[in-house]
Structure 1
Amino acid sequence: MNSTLDGRNILVLTSNFGTETDEIRIPLATLREAGAKLTVVAPETGVVTTLERDRERGPEVPVDAAHDTVKAADFDALVLPGGTLNADALRGDETAQFLTRAFAADGKPVAAICHAPWLLVETGLADGRELTSVPTIRTDLINAGGRWVDEEVVVDDSAGFRLITSRTPDDLDAFTTAIIDALS
């Protein structure tokens, strides 16, 4: 096992339904392989029902705790997996908004892929930042004051915390590498 991230605790914030399968499972596996301890939180305990390409049910992922029972202070980074239904649910969730803002306020990395940057729009964290996402939410990010670019991963350190964004499951290698680099 790689020990690059030994001693690092990473929070994965998701809804209980609609998270893109690869966008939660691959970061979990890759970051654990790098030595990190990952905690999956959602509005309810139990499981996350994933979807493959927003259509077909994928495997379930266990939830370690309800999101209202954790604090940003206990973690080194936040990972926000995508999936249209997941991201839409989280952007309207006040606890998810609070947690995301808390990571940014503490100067800790926030990593969001695919549709997950919708939560950055709701929290005001996209404003003035260079970022990427699935192309269908490009206009939302621009309207929120972001500078959208079409790249597999974008790392922006311009506002007191590292913001890592990525487009789609095709970019997961670059996405997870950027998270590892941010915590190494």
Structure 2
Amino acid sequence: MADLADSRVLAIASNLGVEQNTMKLPLEYLHAAGALIGIAAPELGPVHTVDPEDAEGQCFTADQTLEEVSEHDYDLLLVPGGLLNADLLRTNLFAQRIVNVFAAEHKPIAAAGHAPWLLVNSRLVNGKSLTSSPSLRADLENAGGSWRAEPVVICTALDWPLVTTRGPEEAGHFIKAIDTALAQQLNTSS
């Protein structure tokens, strides 16, 4: 575990339909490593997750709206999975702005499961290698990405780091890759 003290991580999600373990497990790990966590959603308040083993899932609290986010204040962006979550985020202009600013500032973006849909709508997939929920393969390839059937893909092409995972079953690998990407970001920005 890297020392991530005083690093700042932003998780963006819709207010419902978020895949629980692609949000909960990375945020728990990052918090334990010393990272400060912000959560943004279209509306302030509850962010409802789904979990196949727990119909209701865990609830998180958005401390800011997507519109209010100041991307410059964060070191890494986490976009958790969930089919409904990704479908709602990908058409949200504020979410698109956030991922575009992170990419333009060469900051790491970590996207799980269906979350790369947001990258497609934000025109950030072309030239990147990535993985996702297998159902997104055609969308990602049609957007110019190189889809890989791997648990986790780290791509630094185009001068910004992208960490992607197929879904919650790969959480351990995803967290390790996020830890590495954030530690590298902190080393280059200091």
- Relative to the length of structure 2, the TM-score reads 0.93
Deviates more, 1:37-46 or 1:64-73: 64-73
The letter of the residue matching 1:114 is G
Query: Displacement of 1:56 after TM fit?
Result: 2.5
RMSD of aligned alpha carbons: 1.4
Query: Displacement of 1:7 after TM fit?
Result: 1.3
What is the 5 A alignment of 1:100-111? 100-111=99-110
Q: Which residue of 1 aligns with 2:125?
A: 126
The reply on whether 1:159 has 2:158 as its aligned counterpart is yes
Q: Which residue of 1 aligns with 2:77?
A: 78
1:42-82: per-residue Cα shift (whole Å, max 9, x none)?
01001101111499321211111111111110000100001
Query: Displacement of 1:183 after TM fit?
Result: 1.7
Quick check: 2:2–2:179 contact (8 Å CA) kept in 1?
no
The reply on whether 1:149 has 2:121 as its aligned counterpart is no
What is the 5 A alignment of 1:166-177? 166-177=165-176
Give every structure 1 segment of 4 or more consecutive aligned residues whose post-TM-superposition deviation is greater than 6 Å: none
User: Structure 2 CA distance, aligned partners of 1:126 and 1:173?
Assistant: 24
Q: Which residue of 2 aligns with 1:32?
A: 31
1:103-136: per-residue Cα shift (whole Å, max 9, x none)?
0000100110000000010011111110000101
Quick check: 1:41–1:65 contact (8 Å CA) kept in 2?
yes
Number of residue-to-residue matches in the alignment: 183
The letter of the residue matching 1:150 is A
1:127-175: per-residue Cα shift (whole Å, max 9, x none)?
1110000101111101111000011110000111001100010111111
Q: Which residue of 1 aligns with 2:15?
A: 16
Q: Which residue of 2 aligns with 1:4?
A: 3
Runs of at least 5 residues in structure 1 that lack an aligned partner in the other structure: none
Q: Which residue of 2 aligns with 1:43?
A: 42
Runs of at least 5 residues in structure 2 that lack an aligned partner in the other structure: 184-190
Aligned-residue identity in percent: 41
The letter of the residue matching 2:81 is G
User: Structure 2 CA distance, aligned partners of 1:183 and 1:46?
Assistant: 27
The letter of the residue matching 2:92 is D
User: Structure 1 CA distance, aligned partners of 2:37 and 2:176?
Assistant: 16
- Relative to the length of structure 1, the TM-score reads 0.96
1:73-105: per-residue Cα shift (whole Å, max 9, x none)?
000010000100000000000000001100000
User: Structure 2 CA distance, aligned partners of 1:172 and 1:132?
Assistant: 14
Quick check: 1:20–1:53 contact (8 Å CA) kept in 2?
no
